[in-house]
Structure 1
């Protein structure tokens, strides 16, 4: 979860490449975009229990105001390059009712060794099924990370396909980006950017890692993403906690 720090200062073309990726025009995905920026790394022998929560506020859209999404996952590394996880997805809407929305299977493939090339690469595969409706979603996401000194830039670019009897078949895409400063394991400040249909947001994030005895550790992230456009949710608060052991 906390990859080895490379102290060498990398050339400016790498940072520019990530910036250009963020500025590239593309069709944007609908649905909730703010969630998690994935790194491309797999830690051998790791098992994790993960909870993610996203809550939104929007004064002009009642369907988004007070909407909450929760993911509870159990994951394990399958090898030194593959990591698999299964999630239960819950939703709490404006009438304060909570329901199990669906299930999701996820697999991450680390393509390159850390530091082998100018950037580190991976792929993420996701398959989600709605519980009460014939609605499916499959996604393939390109993961890229680059370090320069104590700064780390990460980008996720996803192609998403939705199908089923209850929805129109659609092919979409989505972008998530993070730039963070490695102040210490216990606390790292960051800025994240999210782009998707009806969502363009940016905001501060904090994350940290607390090592425990017996090859165990606790990891957390907390962020507040502010909408840039009128169509974006005004505020999105995201929280992630993981308990990891080996």
Structure 2
């Protein structure tokens, strides 16, 4: 399933409330019209660390909305913006499925390169799953984004997502709306199309972050 693409930058003294959701249509071996949503609170610790706690919800044609799991996430900005040829960060996530002994730990790199008004971003993660209710498994994901910084409130982009059960490509948009001093509303949306028979034909991702 496609997901948010992260950027390596941390703002000191920032807090946020985040909602994001991904909808996908038919996919082999998955429930039809599956929706995975996350609601989270996060905050920075200094100017290099950011932590976030999520509640994860799922619904589909076969089942109504229900709590699916819990997630903790930590991001670390490794380099100052513009210090090297690219800006670097790392991300770590721990997820527990509700009502089952299924755990997942993800870690990886976040890389971003600015070229004039263009930005190129890569997220490369390794994921380990374990628990008595699942076969232990190691997998990887890669997400790429090329974004044009047209205006602060509108930045069109192209994205590519690759994982164990999804390969998708398509357009996306994001932007920031200033609501006052240190108050912003960040929004993003992407429309991704499957590249092989194992991927959903269409995935739509959307997100809102209130930053304060």
Q: TM-score range by the shorter chain?
A: over 0.9
Structure 1 or 2, whichever has the larger Rg, is 1
5+ residue gaps, structure 1: 1-31
2:39 is aligned to: 72
1:40 is aligned to: 8
Aligned counterparts of 2:18 and 2:158: Cα–Cα separation in 1:
22
Runs of 4+ residues deviating >2 angstroms: 60-65
2:206 is aligned to: 239
**Structure-1-length-normalised TM-score:** 0.84
Aligned counterparts of 1:76 and 1:41: Cα–Cα separation in 2:
13
Alpha-carbon RMSD: 1.1
Question: 2:105 is matched with which residue: 117, 138, 141?
Answer: 138
Q: Please identify which structure carries the higher helix content.
A: 1
5+ residue gaps, structure 2: none
**Structure-2-length-normalised TM-score:** 0.97
Decide whether aligned partners of structure 1 residues 170 and 61 sit closer, same or farther in structure 2, where only a CA change above 3 A counts.
closer
1:157 is aligned to: 124
Decide whether aligned partners of structure 1 residues 107 and 185 sit closer, same or farther in structure 2, where only a CA change above 3 A counts.
same
Aligned counterparts of 1:198 and 1:244: Cα–Cα separation in 2:
32
Q: Please identify which structure carries the higher strand content.
A: 2
Residue 121 of structure 2 aligns to a residue in which SS?
strand
Number of residue equivalences? 212
Aligned counterparts of 1:198 and 1:37: Cα–Cα separation in 2:
17
